[in-house]
Amino acid sequence: MKLYLFFISIFLSAISVPVYGQPTIGLLESGAGQQKGYVLFSPIASTTTYLIDKKGRKVNTWESKYTPGHSAYLLPDGSLLRSGVLNDQYFVGTGAGGIIEKFNWKGELT
């Protein structure tokens, strides 16, 4: 029973929670005194990269054909530079990657 409750709590913590009536992405709690700005992240099993504000509201998303590598950068012109993982039999595990993509703000591969 305890294991069952543990999995339910993990599932519920992964669900987006509303903040001021808007659904959030990837944010469960926002602490007082936080830094200003945005959060850029790429969930490891997803092909989407998200830019959210500090309240968890989506600012922009970029869709790739590849799961993420170990870095993504928002460039000064608003474009996204993102590493991706090729499904390559020679490079697996730590340090996997193999592709760099650049998307404009509208999500178009440039």
End-to-end CA distance of the chain: 51
Q: How many angstroms separate the CA atoms of 60 and 52, rounded?
A: 7
Q: How far is CA 12 from CA 2, 16, 64, 89, 99, in A?
A: 15, 9, 27, 36, 34
- Once rounded to an integer, what is the mean pLDDT over residues 32-37? 70
Nearest to 62 by CA among 27, 105, 110: 105
- Burial-class residue 55 by CB neighbours within 10 Å (0-12, 13-18, 19+): exposed
User: pTM for this one?
Assistant: 0.69
Q: Calculate what percentage of the chain has a pLDDT beyond 90.
A: 43
- Once rounded to an integer, what is the mean pLDDT over residues 24-40? 72
Two tokens, residue 73: 């950068």
What type of residue is 107?
A: G
CA 109 to chain CA centroid, Å, is 18
Q: Which CATH architecture has domain 36-110?
A: Beta Barrel (2.40)
Residue 98: is its pLDDT beyond 90? no
Instruction: Tell whether the torsion through CA atoms of 15, 17, 22 and 26 is positive or negative.
Output: negative
**Among 11-20, 36-45, 73-82, 96-105, whose mean pLDDT is lowest?**
11-20
